[in-house]
Amino acid sequence: MGNYVDRIDWRSMIHYLGILIVLYISAISMYAGDIDRDNLAVYDFVGYGMSATASRIVSDRVRGQIINTQTYKVVERELMDKILEEQRLQLSGLIDESSHLVEVGRLLAVQYIIGGSVSRFGEMFTIEARIINVESGEIVRSVSEDYVGTIESMLIKTTKLISNGLCD
Tens digits of residue pLDDT in 107-155 = 888 999 999 999 999 999 999 999 999 999 999 999 999 999 999 999 9
Closest CA to 42 of 104, 114, 112: 114
Containing H/E element for 42?
Answer: strand 39-42
φ, ψ for residue 39 (rounded to 5)?
-80, 145
Query: How far is Cα 1 from Cα 51, in angstroms, rounded to an integer?
Result: 76
Q: Say which DSSP state 3 is in.
A: -
pLDDT tens digit sequence for 72-111: 999 887 887 777 776 665 555 544 567 778 888 888 889 9
Report if pTM > 0.85.
no
From the list 9, 42, 31, the residue with the least C-alpha distance to 110 is: 42
Q: What is residue 136's three-state secondary structure?
A: coil
Mean pLDDT rounded to a whole number for the chain: 81
